[in-house]
Amino acid sequence: MSFPHGSDLETTTRLSRHQGSAEARTLEGWRARGGYEALRRSLDMSPAEVTEVVKASGLRGRGGAGFPTGLKWSFMPKDDGKPHYLCCNADESEPGAFKDREVIRWTPHLLIEGCLIAARAIGAEHAYIYVRGEFFEETRVLNAAVVEAYENGLAGEGILGSSWSCDVTIHAGAGAYIAGEETGLMNSLMGNRAEPWAKPPFPAQAGAFGMPTTVNNVETLAAVPMILEHGAEWYRQWGSERSPGTKLWSCSGHLVRPGNYEFALGLPLSDIIFEACGGTPSGRPVKAVIPGGSSTAFLGGDELDCATTYEGLAEAGSALGTASPIVMDEDTDIVAAMRRIAQFYAHESCGQCVQCREGTSWVVRILQRIEAGDGRPSDIDTLYELCEQMTGRTICVLADSVVFPLRSSLDKFRADYEALMKPSLVAAG
């Protein structure tokens, strides 16, 4: 078990406070911990009121993009006579991120409750939980919880004795990173290849099965019950104006205490790395950190004072992403790390857009050649230009996801690349 760790830094365990307790997995245990009270409360509110509370709380999507959740819900059409759907994105596949699986594994009812409240807010008659294909244990646990929920009137017809009904279905993916992109997820859910589609149509117009759909991340939905229970102001006691609340952190790499943590948003990144996680096991300085999962830009070891908010990390030239810092100490071969990241994206590209399909694997091959000692200074120019052409040109942001770490690694660690090239070539320019 990776949570909770003893740490020198104060954690704020709201989402994760019941993780580690096997009892919380059962409906009985969950009810004993106040479970489903928020759902009961939401049934006394109108869908618009639920949306308003979440909007006021400032909760932002925890899947990486940080889009305001309440605002997203408000995009759903009202009284359009069509079925609406909620999709919970439990396809957590970002290299570095391993927080959603813990939410599912320990507190499946928290997720179900969050799904139901969200479904009520957007008028959904069916909530689909799209679980990453490799999450066998998580799927089993979640499945047991959904069965319990159905058996106890918490899902299906007439929830909690009310006139409101909502089905909950677990859908296991088949192992594609791109199924975590919202339109790719819906395509996969519908039985198609997990290929993102070009927007418009946006999911709130025509999503899963052509109907208005909202896609929310596991951690986002898991935060909803406590917001409903305690109110928007209570949630805003943590974090900043634009990044309120608490956040799960998946810390990995060269750390004394890697693992999942929950902090109020806004701590300095260095505190999380050095105080909470204890710094590098070797004691050598940190060379680089990818703060938000592998698709965010590298930060150098001297750039770690930034605040861990959406805006703070954006100012530092990276992104909060999924809040999954990968820490690399001084001995790390940045070119090899970058090559490995690029390989991941080349492997996971769905293959629709040419910039991504061909670009990602071209990047890999150039990096492999540089790694093998056959690099040329012109390769760096080529890589920069590929970054240019792979940004903002494609249906989804998978190609951009390679560019963020690649461009930043070229900017900040160019010497590492050049060190692998023959000195005569580098000197000649």
Partner 1 sequence: MAENGARADVRLTIDGVEVTVPSGTRVIEAAERVGVVVPRYCYHPGIPTRPAQCRMCLVEVEGRPKLEPSCTLQATDDMVVNTASDAARTARQAVIEFLLVNHPLDCPICDAAGQCMLQDYAYVTNQLESRVDEPKRIMGRDRISDDILYFADRCVICTRCVRFMRDVAEDDSLIVAQRGDKAYIDTFPGRELDNPFQGNIVDVCPVGALVHEDFVFKTRAWDMDSAASVCPGCPTGCNVTIDTKENQIVRVKPRHNAAVNSWWMCDYGRRHLVMTNRGVRADVPLVRDGEQLRPVDWATALDWVAGRIDALGSPGGSAVVSPDASNENLFYVERLLGRLGITGAAFIVPQGETAALPTVPTLKLRADRAANPAGAELFGGRRVDGLRNGASAGGLVVLDDELKGADEDFGGSADFFLYLGTRLAGAARNADAVLPIATFAEMDGTFTNFEGRVQRFHQALRPPGLARPGWMVLSRVLARLGDGEAVNDVRGAFERMAAEAPAFAGLTWDGIGLKGAAAAGSGAEAAGVAASAEADA
What does the binding site for partner 1 look like in residue numbers (CB under 8 A)?
Answer: 176, 178, 193, 195, 197-198, 346-355, 357-362, 365-366, 369, 382, 389, 392-395
Select 2 or 93, whichever has its Cβ closest to partner 1: 93
* Cβ–Cβ < 8 Å for 59, 257: no
Select 265 or 395, whichever has its Cβ closest to partner 1: 395
> Cα separation of 212 and 206, whole Å?
5
As measured in angstroms, the least distance from the Cβ of 349 to partner 1 is: 4
> Cα separation of 239 and 233, whole Å?
12
Select 297 or 395, whichever has its Cβ closest to partner 1: 395
Select 400 or 416, whichever has its Cβ closest to partner 1: 400
As measured in angstroms, the least distance from the Cβ of 139 to partner 1 is: 23
Select 210 or 392, whichever has its Cβ closest to partner 1: 392
> Cα separation of 23 and 35, whole Å?
12
As measured in angstroms, the least distance from the Cβ of 181 to partner 1 is: 13
Neighbours of 44 (CB within 10 A): 8
As measured in angstroms, the least distance from the Cβ of 328 to partner 1 is: 26
* Cβ–Cβ < 8 Å for 177, 133: no
Select 51 or 360, whichever has its Cβ closest to partner 1: 360
- CB pairs under 8 A, 24+ apart, for 199-204? 202/75, 204/72, 204/75, 204/76, 204/77
223 strand-pairing partners: none
13: exposed, middle or buried (Cβ count in 10 Å: 0-12, 13-18, 19+): middle
Neighbours of 321 (CB within 10 A): 27
As measured in angstroms, the least distance from the Cβ of 296 to partner 1 is: 20
